[in-house]
């Protein structure tokens, strides 16, 4: 199994690589730029080359880039919508420069315009951004739609939303990134064998489990169906150690890379959570 964390590239890509190696990650996620801005500086090719060489040397893959939080591809407000499209295009360009495997995006907030209208906006925005960035069609997805908790007017808390976005996107292949905290908060029971089986049956029926390329492993502060997007340390939230053993007990999920986005103040927090998640994967009864 592959496990990694979201690493910071503050101070340069070499810092992100150093932290990944120190933590013995087999996969990583990071922001290509400022996560709280729609404007970012381009990645320098020489820095990107050294970074890619380092990842290859230490067998760290896939490399996952997370788009900025301010991106809202569903916005009915034209200025924000256009800024989000341009920002997504830059993120795609950054992924190409870094030879990243995946770009994870939160689908967006419809802000009252409705889910159907928001889904149409998201699909068009992705296609527009891909065109601007010169992204050519491929059967292998670069962009992954993350499952979200469903707070406010978020789109993407139900598998039907990802299905409809993917169906409306003709020129770009899309995949899915599951987030354990978000799914649980959105109302998917993934902590019992029966609940997880039903969840994966629905996922497979609507999307196909094979479209899931990355799983964000996060415990949840909120209870089942709370719609609260607050991550907890592994084993200290409402999913708990028992819930993660259930998740790791499904053989279909064990082949998907797991990336932690758990709370941290220092690298030791990542080290601790990685140790716990690896232990739970070993303790799981695989079916």
User: Which CATH number do you get for residue 187?
Assistant: 3.20.20.150
Q: 47, 50, 204, 261: which one is catalytic?
A: 261
Does residue 188 have an active-site annotation? no
Lowest mean per-residue pLDDT among 130-139, 149-158, 164-173: 130-139
139: buried, middle or exposed (CB in 10 Å: 19+, 13-18, 0-12)? Answer: exposed
Statement: residue 266 has pLDDT above 90 = yes
Q: Once rounded to an integer, what is the mean pLDDT over residues 75-81?
A: 97
Q: 9, 90, 106, 110: which one is catalytic?
A: 106
Statement: residue 36 has pLDDT above 80 = no
Statement: residue 58 has pLDDT above 90 = yes
33 — pLDDT class (breaks 50, 70, 90): confident
What domain range includes position 36?
Answer: 3-283
Classify strands 143-146 and 102-105 as parallel, antiparallel or unpaired.
parallel
5 — pLDDT class (breaks 50, 70, 90): very high
Does residue 91 have an active-site annotation? no
1: buried, middle or exposed (CB in 10 Å: 19+, 13-18, 0-12)? Answer: middle
Does residue 58 have an active-site annotation? no
Q: 91, 101, 229, 238: which one is catalytic?
A: 229
Q: What percentage of the chain carries pLDDT values higher than 70?
A: 100
Does residue 47 have an active-site annotation? no
45 — pLDDT class (breaks 50, 70, 90): confident
Q: 6, 110, 163, 182: which one is catalytic?
A: 182
> Rounded to 5 degrees, what are φ and ψ at 134?
75, 25
Does residue 39 have an active-site annotation? no
Q: How many domains does the chain have?
A: 1
Look up the pTM and report it.
0.96
Look at residue 40 in the predicted model and tell me its pLDDT: 73
Q: Estimate the crossing angle of helix 193-206 against helix 159-168, to 10 degrees.
A: 20
Does residue 268 have an active-site annotation? no
Q: 91, 101, 164, 179: which one is catalytic?
A: 179
Q: 91, 146, 164, 270: which one is catalytic?
A: 146
Classify strands 102-105 and 212-217 as parallel, antiparallel or unpaired.
unpaired
Q: Once rounded to an integer, what is the mean pLDDT over residues 95-111?
A: 96
Look at residue 147 in the predicted model and tell me its pLDDT: 98
Does residue 270 have an active-site annotation? no
Contact 261, 228 (CB under 8 A): no
Does residue 241 have an active-site annotation? no
Condensed to tens digits (0 to 9), the pLDDT of residues 201-256 reads 999 999 999 999 999 999 999 999 999 999 999 999 999 999 999 999 999 999 99
Tokens encoding 75 = 């916005």
Look at residue 152 in the predicted model and tell me its pLDDT: 97
Q: 9, 66, 90, 163: which one is catalytic?
A: 66
Does residue 137 have an active-site annotation? no
């Amino acid at each position: 199994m592959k496990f990694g964390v979201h690493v910071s590239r503050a101070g340069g890509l070499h810092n992100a690589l150093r932290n990944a190696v120190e933590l013995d990650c087999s996969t990583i996620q990071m922001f290509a730029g400022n996560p709280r801005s729609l404007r970012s500086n381009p990645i320098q090719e020489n820095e990107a080359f050294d970074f890619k060489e380092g990842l290859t040397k230490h067998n760290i893959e896939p490399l996952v880039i997370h788009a900025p939080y301010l991106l809202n591809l569903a916005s009915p407000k034209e200025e924000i919508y256009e800024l989000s499209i341009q920002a997504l295009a830059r993120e795609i360009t950054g992924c190409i420069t870094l030879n990243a495997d995946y770009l994870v995006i939160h689908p967006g907030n419809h802000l009252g315009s409705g889910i159907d209208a928001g889904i149409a906006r998201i699909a068009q925005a992705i296609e527009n951004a891909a065109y601007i960035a010169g992204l050519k069609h491929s059967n292998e997805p670069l962009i992954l739609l993350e499952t979200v908790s469903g707070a406010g007017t978020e789109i993407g808390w139900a598998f039907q939303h990802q299905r409809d976005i993917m169906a409306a996107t003709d020129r770009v292949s899309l995949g899915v990134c599951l987030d354990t905290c978000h799914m649980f908060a959105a109302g998917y029971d993934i902590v019992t064998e029966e609940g997880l089986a039903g969840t994966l049956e629905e996922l497979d029926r609507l999307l196909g489990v094979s479209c899931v390329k990355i799983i964000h492993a996060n415990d949840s502060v909120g209870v089942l169906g709370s719609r609260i997007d607050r991550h907890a340390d592994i084993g200290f939230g409402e999913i708990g150690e028992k819930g993660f053993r259930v998740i790791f007990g499904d053989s279909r999920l064990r082949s998907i890379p797991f990336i932690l986005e758990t709370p941290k103040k220092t690298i030791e927090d990542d080290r601790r959570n990685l140790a716990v998640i690896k232990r739970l994967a070993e303790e799981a009864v695989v079916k």
